[in-house]
Amino acid sequence: MNTIYWRIGMLVLLLAAGVVWFQLERSSGNPAPVSATTGDLTYPVVDTGQTICYDDGDELACPAAGEAFYGQDAQFDGNAPGYTDNGNGTVTDNVTGLMWQQSPDTDEDGDIDVADKFTYAEACAYCEALDLAGYDDWQLPGIKQLYSLIDFSGIDPSGYQGNDTTGLNPFIDTDYFDFAYGDTNAGERLIDAQFASSTLYVAATPMQLLFGVNFADGRIKGYGLTMPGPGGGEKTFYVLCSRGNTSYGQNSFVDNQDGTITDSASGLMWAQDDSEQGLNWEEALAWVEEKNAENYLGYSDWRLPNVKELQSLVDYTRSPDTTGSAAIDPLFDVTAITNEAGATDYPFYWSSTTHANWTESPGAYGAYVAFGRALGYMNNTWVDVHGAGAQRSDPKSGDPVDWPYGHGPQGDAIRIYNYVRLVRDVDESPTVVPTSTATPLPTSTATPGPTTTPDPPPAPDPLPETVMLPLLVNAGIPWATGD
């Protein structure tokens, strides 16, 4: 009997020691990986911060269920952004658990300009060598980590010809982070505020692409590591190094065997199938309402994902030219399309997020994510100018025939009729609703974009993350060095 008591006593002591050790470990060094509001999630998606509703051109009072344009980003609350200024040149993201360098003023001269920018190799070396606030484990963030900082209360200044930036609003929280637009005194454009990530595009392109976030205009694009033309030199980027929560950005998908897929890392449930047809933005929102009225897959609380939720699905180890698939886990079904170049490809997907701009039609464009090639029309041909996994924007309405050569400096393909993938929060219970009263899909007379192929071939296994394709040089093609 005494032996039993002795063993029980030892077990209690061991458990108590473990608890003490855990608390000491938590209280020393790094902050908790995620906030209390996100529980045990390792990849909580930070909300976009968009609070204004739009139609396909202007701001509007947020619509009620059943009304046109209901279900957009501003009508849903996600994991609200929250930061702590640590007072030592660093900022902690209270949602993701990542700690960030506060300023891209890398030469520490008190201003942010072209002299603070680095090539890709220099950016990697800079973060690896950085010793800041007593930490020496900084790294150049991956694209999903870097994109967690984007804030869609920003205003896209593309096309703005002035140099006065006082009335502009970038796509990053300047209450906590230092920011500057492009250095126009050095010949840069206002929108040349591309920040480097460590994520390279896996597909072989004439100029190797680095995925970066432009906090001036609110986009992810693949940017060429070298400038176009003879003697162009290497492209340079602003840099914000990060540390902590190295698992942030890694999905953990579970096939629920009922047409849904749960990401236990983000707490989001996704429809396995997509819309199987292209829709304009208003139609996309209405289609979601129809699916909820049908109690699709046993749930009536589906929504059109905001752009940060949508980007969380991208698998940057995959692309049409390396894995013969969309840039997404093969658990998902993706409708194949024939793209503008006549090749088999995969769609752009609408988000519920408006890509607001500075013009008289601030809500004319919606943000999308390219799960296939992000085509642009350059030198009289269509090329994968920004890479699968890019986040760009399309007009919410109109006819793609009116944009035969795309739009912008790299001729971004304009489709307007993009696809939809439904999302919901996994902590909500399924509900059954009565017969639908949702607004029917608007009838469109516009010419749809690329044609679809109903049954795409099965996707091969993804490449390992360590795969990097060799740099192919083709100075005759001006590549994606800017926006």
Residue 446 lies in a domain: yes
Closest CA to 258 of 297, 300, 224, 302: 297
Q: Give the dihedral of Cα atoms 217, 189, 373, 449; nearest 10 deg.
A: 70
DSSP 396: S
| CA–CA separation, 229 and 479 (whole Å) | 9
Does 358 reside within a domain?
Answer: yes
Q: Which domain holds residue 429?
A: 62-78+259-453
Residue 206: the pLDDT is 82
CA dist 186 and 222 (Å) reads: 23
Give the tokens for residue 272: 């396995």
Q: 394 near 414, Cβ under 8 Å?
A: yes
16, part of any domain: no
In the structure encoding, which two tokens stand for residue 163, read together? 């140099």
What residues pair up with 279 in beta bridges, in sequence order? 418
Of the candidates 158, 198, 200, the residue with the CA atom closest to the CA atom of residue 181: 158
Whether 327 is in a domain gets the answer: yes
DSSP string of 399-436, one letter each residue: -GGG-TT-BTTTTB---S-BB---EEETTSPP----S-
Residues 48-68 have pLDDT tens digits of 999 999 999 999 999 999 999
Angle at 369 between CA 471 and CA 359, to 5 degrees: 110
Residue 104 lies in a domain: no
Residues composing the chain? 483
Residue 321 lies in a domain: yes
Query: In this predicted structure, what is the pLDDT of residue 232?
Result: 74
**What is the reported pLDDT for 450?**
53
Do 349 and 394 touch, CB atoms closer than 8 A?
no
Give the pLDDT confidence score for residue 167 in this predicted structure: 82
The dihedral through the CA atoms of 163, 168, 171, 173 has a sign that is positive
Domain count of the fold of the chain: 1
Contacts for 471-474: CB closer than 8 Å, 24+ residues apart = 471/207, 471/208, 471/225, 472/204, 472/205, 472/206, 472/207, 472/208, 473/206, 473/207, 473/226, 474/206, 474/207
Residue 346, helix vs strand vs coil: coil
Residue 255 — φ and ψ, nearest 5°? -80, 115
Q: How far is CA 203 from each of CA 199, 369, 453, 467, 482, rounded to the nearest angstrom?
A: 12, 17, 23, 10, 19
Is 350 a member of any domain?
Answer: yes
Q: In what order do the strands lie in the sheet with 242-243?
A: 83-85, 90-93, 99-101, 242-243
Residue 393 main-chain phi, psi, to 5 deg: -145, 150
Q: Is residue 114 part of a domain?
A: no
Q: For residues 7 and 15, what is the distance between their CA atoms, to the nearest angstrom?
A: 12
Query: φ and ψ at 409, to 5 degrees?
Result: -60, -30
One pLDDT digit (tens) per residue for the chain, 483 residues: 444 444 445 444 444 444 333 333 333 333 333 333 466 899 999 999 999 999 999 999 999 999 999 999 999 999 999 999 999 999 999 999 999 999 999 999 999 999 999 999 999 999 999 999 999 999 999 999 999 999 999 999 999 988 888 889 999 999 999 999 999 999 999 999 999 999 999 998 888 999 999 999 999 999 999 887 677 789 999 999 999 999 999 999 999 999 999 999 999 999 999 999 999 999 999 999 999 999 999 999 999 999 999 999 999 999 999 999 999 999 999 999 999 999 999 999 999 999 999 999 999 999 999 999 999 999 999 999 999 999 999 999 999 999 999 998 899 999 999 999 999 999 754 443 333 333 333 333 334 445 444 444 344 333 333 333 332 223 233 344 446
CA–CA gap between residue 63 and residue 123 (Å, rounded):
45
